[in-house]
Structure 1
């Protein structure tokens, strides 16, 4: 299994499109809400990150599930991939119900203690009241994606991705402006778009996949479920604490002011496109590393990672240059507020240039996940988060500059990548 640049890209592109679903939904929300008002634009940032924090519990579990499926695929135990898929689906549906219930009860109690502006808090809760139900659709979608990425048959993800975007954009316009639902309309549109993408992917798996070859017949196997949970429990909490720390970053910005929060949301929304590239390549890395180890080709792991990083630079750097050149035009898509645009310009450049460090950091860390060492990735993430929070807390005492706040992201990804490289080069996995 010596994956070429072309092989990697053909596997990665549908993964990138599927990750783009969630992010384009957030981007679309931000663009429409930016024309409603700065309060709604800023609130959608906090609400979106809060939702993403909860969503990451399911996303992290799906990464562990993907590792197990990919290992079975690499071993040519194809029927085991389907059995593993169904155990993951059972767990994720139950998790979605549990998290929706917990969020409805506890989110208002927690957020009222963290958000300084009453207007922002009210808008955040209004958004979450509708958005949280999207977990019922996004979690099963993640399980389907883990299965398809694990067996490296990722093309159907393209159709699902485009369906979500095509549904979300007109629904946003209708619900936010035509029916005058404001930020609640954006939440409803987003959840409905996720439902549509789930339906499309489910139809493909049920009608076009060979059920006999992949063991796609419903059956409960407690031993497989136990093994999946043992692998996934650490990968489940690793991205969760990562995004939770990012939520702390946005809370710190919210205390600077409502316009600062709105400017930060614009920066986050645009830079999300590069987050999609990084995370799709990282997810692909985890799957391909698992397949390599299943085929007993450990010596190809580091060369594979380096090849993926070079591919990511070739894709991302030209886009970064274009974004910097045309930044003013891009900002005006979100808001016509001149003060907001002026405030966002420099931190926007700082955020984009972090791509150079984020790509290797996440690729190497997901390679560690691909080896099955999910507990190690959790430890690395925890160490990194502690350093990140100390840095963020320290700069809050001497600076109110958004550019300085965004440098915290550099510390996070550089330290994460260094720990992962040290592990990959010194451990027998």
Structure 2
């Protein structure tokens, strides 16, 4: 197996990403854990509203993935000065998109959700959350460009520091605003939204200050803020557009799953929100190595070490398995322990156990599937990645529509959709990396 990186080198790049992603996941965990002690309606509503927000956010995140691929390629080619221009053009685009998303969500979300959500209580609580959460677009959309910069230049330790600051801020703000501490009113689910948006603002401020005082801004061309350059932005969109569409479609189908589950009842929706957060722990561990693999694949192609790509992919799968599978086994053996973090309602804990078992088994396939899929994106062939994703999502959508919306099976069966998705994307991505013409892609 021909490789350029040792396991230690991969770990040194990936572990800051892992810590940062886990810290970011703790924001959702904090919201769920706090709201799980307010009530099942708030817990379920935060699932619908939270996924609705994430669908919008993932469009911006998709753009940042494309920007990260370009930054990583320029970093591999040692064209460091071009990185600053890519970064600033990305920030301009993200701020413009944040304004558009803010207006669309603030005006259209009530009209959309009132037609999709069957429970009036869930609807009212979800709108209460979204009315405050959308302010976070301006902060989170900009912050992901900093993430793209640090990932693309493999300076990932910064992400760990930022995430710690963000999580601590979120815990403090949520505790004060949800439960009404230190003289503040108890805002419940609205407090969770305000707290998360404020935490994203703190995160952005940290990124700005850290970059100014700890990064060689002259080396990366960050010392001069350029004007809007449409030719560079067009080049970025040629790569990023497909990841934006891909991320939007991927999360939209997940939103569809939550809407289907909501029609099974408020308890089923509350269970799904808890399982989503438990899944997030495993998913973030997996994605730390999948994202690292995507960046290293781009760097390898940029530096001419194409023969090392297959071996590097296999390295990432092994190291991801070494961390994800023990965690999944632990969650399977001690389900009440992990579920008690999210709710203190015994009946809800008991009802969620079958779904947790189904979810954990899916990671046998999700790990290699995501590593291979991120590798496809890392080659710069983002249009191909979108095509693979659309084929898989079409199968996924048909599956959840049949078993959840039509058959109305128990919520645990809904989570078998993760098996369907992961097996589909694994097969397609594997054969593309094995047989596809990706090595000569110019970006």
TM-score (norm 2): 0.95
Query: Of 40, 43, 50, which residue of structure 1 is paired with 2:42?
Result: 40
Residue 110 of structure 1: aligned partner: 112
- What SS does the corresponding residue of 2:380 show, helix, strand or coil? coil
Match of residue 232 from structure 1: 240
Provide, for residues 308-329 of structure 1, a one-character-per-residue CA deviation record: whole Å limited to 9, x for no partner.
0111011111112222222212
Give the conservation status (yes or no) of the 8 Å contact 1:260–1:340. Answer: no
Q: Distance in 2 between matches of 1:93 and 1:14?
A: 27
Question: CA contact under 8 A between 1:67 and 1:287: conserved in structure 2?
Answer: yes
Query: For residues 114 and 128 of structure 1, what CA distance do their matches in structure 2 show?
Result: 15
- Aligned to 1:354, the other structure's residue is in SS state helix
Task: Count how many residue pairs are aligned between Structure 1 and Structure 2.
Answer: 429
Shift of 1:48: 0.8
CA drift at 1:233: 0.3
Separation (CA, whole Å) in 2 of partners of 1:56 and 1:213: 30
**Aligned partners of 1:100, 1:399: CA distance in 2, in Å?**
34
Residue 299 of structure 2 is matched in structure 1 by: 291
Instruction: Select between 157-166 and 216-225 the one with higher mean Cα deviation.
Output: 216-225
Identify the structure with the greater helix proportion. Answer: 1
Q: Distance in 2 between matches of 1:193 and 1:39?
A: 24
Q: Residue 350 of structure 1: which of 353, 358, 366 is its match?
A: 358
Q: Is the 8 A contact 2:62 2:240 kept in 1?
A: yes
Distance 1:162 1:146 in 2: 18
Q: Per the alignment, in what secondary structure is the counterpart of residue 92 of structure 1?
A: helix
CA shift, 1:116, in A, is 0.4
Q: CA deviation at 1:71?
A: 0.5
Tell me the equivalent position of 1:20: 22
- Aligned pair 1:334/2:336, yes or no? no
Report how far residue 102 of structure 1 moved: 0.8
Task: Determine which of 393, 412, 415 is the counterpart of 2:401.
Answer: 393
> What secondary structure, in the 3-state scheme, does the structure 2 residue paired with 1:227 have?
helix
TM-score, length basis structure 1:
0.98
Shift of 1:409: 1.1
Residue of structure 2 in register with 1:158 after alignment = 160
Cα distance between partner residues in 2 of 1:17 and 1:113: 39
The partner residue of 2:8 within 3, 6, 12 is 6
What is the CA-CA distance between 1:231 and the residue it aligns to? 0.7
Q: What is the CA-CA distance between 1:23 and the residue it aligns to?
A: 2.2
In 2: Cα distance, 1:282 partner to 1:239 partner: 15
In structure 2, the residue corresponding to 1:334 is in which secondary structure? coil
Q: How far has the Cα of 1:421 moved from its partner? A: 1.0
- Show CA shifts across 1:172-224 (max 9, x none): 11101122100000001111111111111111111121122111121133222
Does the aligned pair in 1 maintain the 2:298–2:379 contact within 8 Å? Answer: yes
**1:92-111 Cα deviation digits (max 9, x unpaired):** 11111111111101111111
> Which residue among 254, 271, 280 is the counterpart of 1:272?
280
Stretches of structure 1 that go unaligned for 5 or more consecutive residues are: none
Corresponding residue SS for 2:304: coil
- Once the two structures are TM-superposed, the CA of residue 65 in structure 1 deviates from its matched residue by 0.4
Q: What is the Cα-based RMSD across aligned positions, in Å? A: 1.2
1:63, 1:283 within 8 Å by CA — same for their partners in 2? Answer: no
CA contact (8 A) 2:29 2:342 kept: no
Which residue of the partner structure matches residue 176 of structure 2?
Answer: 174
Does structure 1 residue 187 correspond to structure 2 residue 193?
yes
1:219 pairs with one of 218, 223, 226: 226
CA deviation map 1:230-278 (0-9, x unaligned): 1100011111111110011111110000011111111111111111112
Structure 1 segments of 4 or more deviating over 4 A?
A: none
Distance across 1 between alignment mates of 2:235 and 2:339: 47
SS at match of 1:211: coil
119-128 or 326-335: which moved more?
Answer: 326-335
Is 1:428 aligned with 2:434? no
Residue 133 of structure 1: how far off its partner (Å) = 1.1
Offset at 1:385? 0.9
